[in-house]
Structure 1
């Protein structure tokens, strides 16, 4: 039989004060209501906890044994309630999220800084993984939310678009193509090309878009990381294309970014979550900041 916490509170208060009348005053209860709560607790436990006389209330041996345990029980309960309040008030908590490297490197740091200023006691673990793994980590409930490109096949998940990202060409300084007013894919493919390795979703997207235009991408070098590709372009090994989200990162390496057309290739970046799973208060607050940042990118 479950015992209501209010009955434990009644027992502790009567034991501490040694008086039903004083306990009733402190708990804002009538004496009959307090007596009923105490009686129900003793019936649930199977024996007397208090020895009552007309002048005093004392603990029975069983009451003396139960009293410290009841105090610990009440303390744990109060702490649990406070912990839940802190989570809802964002005073404490933990959040796991996953995001693809282009987002974690170029956009997420400022969002996290803003979040930390508002909620300094929320601990966030960022899983910096490729786009496909973002989807998998959310699906496996290892992360509450993820930031990635629109997944090709994920009917079991919710994808909410944030903004459309366009691929741009990256070139080293003084490259001849920088003089062209309008840069096309056929111009870029005339030079050795550096590309992400399959099965990266961006690689599949680019391959498919080029094939539809009768163009073939044959990389001279491949890598799993855009940072590595950027550095290889800087060393003159060839040209590449990257999501425009990476523009600042590439420019910091000393590279030039140019819009590329014929075809223009874009993809949606958004938030992946599990349907029918309510986000924690911390995740909801972070999602709001993510959306606010995305709205600025779209303007």
Structure 2
């Protein structure tokens, strides 16, 4: 088959958006060009990929499998393009980083700021996503690297542990936990909880702790963003358990952050993920070096504080 990258890009846009008009807008070509490229692709694969009507575009049987292969091909091309950008210097190029919204703010904010000040000509593409979306972003080459806090599947991804955080319980100033000299996991389990949905790795880490310690956590409200959970905690609806990189924001909101006895034995482990065999551009490699140095220093500082 003589399939072009342009055909694959148009096919993916049409598959995702289900509209010739939207696909044309997304790929910066005319609607008639989208229709022509799609027809040419269907002729190459020997079967229709979409059912067309005046109002909608519906993928045919087999289109989903073809989309997965197309994304794999385009992901490799994107990774190659990023690797070649700024290969000899840091005067240009772009770096894509994917992770959760709170991890981007609480853990990588300083790294991003320092990197931008050092290399203002390099474009930073920051993707604030849930865990599964982060994996897909890296797998498909939209991001050079990502950070998640649950061990990802190994298919198409290289991964290694990069940081280990500690979980804390956050509550309102007048919550009964504040009066305790120390707080155990059983004390935490006895409270009403505001929890993230399990598309986020914070929730998945908490579920692992609960399973390992045979705890039943009473989820009273489930939310999609940590800032929502913190707001509801402040209104007295319950407590929430967060990793250390969220504690600064919690304190800014006037909430109490309490240590949990033995929390370091059940750490919030963070994994660096990249595409297998993908060569980082000079710009992305420099960002990774700075990020690892920062996280190592932060980890050492936390250990020193615990030992005091």
TM-score interval w.r.t. the shorter chain?
A: 0.5 to 0.7
Query: How many angstroms apart in 2 are the aligned matches of 1:284 and 1:265?
Result: 31
1:290 lines up with 2:283 in the alignment: no
- Which segments of 5 or more consecutive residues in structure 2 lack a partner in the other structure? 1-83, 301-308
Query: How many angstroms apart in 2 are the aligned matches of 1:261 and 1:202?
Result: 19
SS in structure 2 at match of 1:170 = strand
Indicate the residue corresponding to 1:67 in structure 2: none
Superposition deviation, residue 128 in structure 1: 0.6
Indicate the residue corresponding to 1:212 in structure 2: 212
1:189-208 to structure 2, matched below 5 A, reads 189-208=189-208
Instruction: Tell me: CA distance 1:91–1:219, structure 2 relative to 1, closer, same or farther (3 Å).
Output: same
Quote the RMSD (CA, aligned, Å). Answer: 1.9
Deviates more, 1:166-175 or 1:198-207: 198-207
Query: How many angstroms apart in 2 are the aligned matches of 1:157 and 1:166?
Result: 26
Indicate the residue corresponding to 2:138 in structure 1: 138
Superposition deviation, residue 240 in structure 1: 1.0
1:272 lines up with 2:277 in the alignment: no
1:134-283 to structure 2, matched below 5 A, reads 134-261=134-261, 264-283=265-284
Query: How many angstroms apart in 2 are the aligned matches of 1:157 and 1:140?
Result: 10
Superposition deviation, residue 274 in structure 1: 1.1
Query: How many angstroms apart in 1 are the aligned matches of 2:152 and 2:94?
Result: 30
SS in structure 1 at match of 2:209 = helix
Q: How many residues align?
A: 216
Indicate the residue corresponding to 2:125 in structure 1: 125
Query: How many angstroms apart in 2 are the aligned matches of 1:217 and 1:206?
Result: 9
- Which segments of 5 or more consecutive residues in structure 1 lack a partner in the other structure? 1-83
Indicate the residue corresponding to 2:303 in structure 1: none
Indicate the residue corresponding to 2:44 in structure 1: none
Q: Given that residues 94 and 123 in structure 2 are in contact (C-alpha distance below 8 angstroms), is that contact kept between their aligned partners in structure 1? A: yes
Q: Given that residues 92 and 121 in structure 1 are in contact (C-alpha distance below 8 angstroms), is that contact kept between their aligned partners in structure 2? A: yes
Q: Considering only CA atoms, is the larger Rg found in Structure 1 or Structure 2?
A: 1
Query: How many angstroms apart in 1 are the aligned matches of 2:86 and 2:145?
Result: 21
1:105-120 to structure 2, matched below 5 A, reads 105-120=105-120
Superposition deviation, residue 215 in structure 1: 1.6
Q: Given that residues 135 and 151 in structure 1 are in contact (C-alpha distance below 8 angstroms), is that contact kept between their aligned partners in structure 2? A: no
Instruction: Tell me: CA distance 1:86–1:207, structure 2 relative to 1, closer, same or farther (3 Å).
Output: closer
- Give TM-score scaled by structure 2 length: 0.65
Query: How many angstroms apart in 1 are the aligned matches of 2:204 and 2:104?
Result: 22
SS in structure 2 at match of 1:181 = coil
- Give TM-score scaled by structure 1 length: 0.67
Query: How many angstroms apart in 1 are the aligned matches of 2:97 and 2:142?
Result: 8
Superposition deviation, residue 258 in structure 1: 1.2
SS in structure 2 at match of 1:257 = strand
Query: How many angstroms apart in 2 are the aligned matches of 1:152 and 1:160?
Result: 10
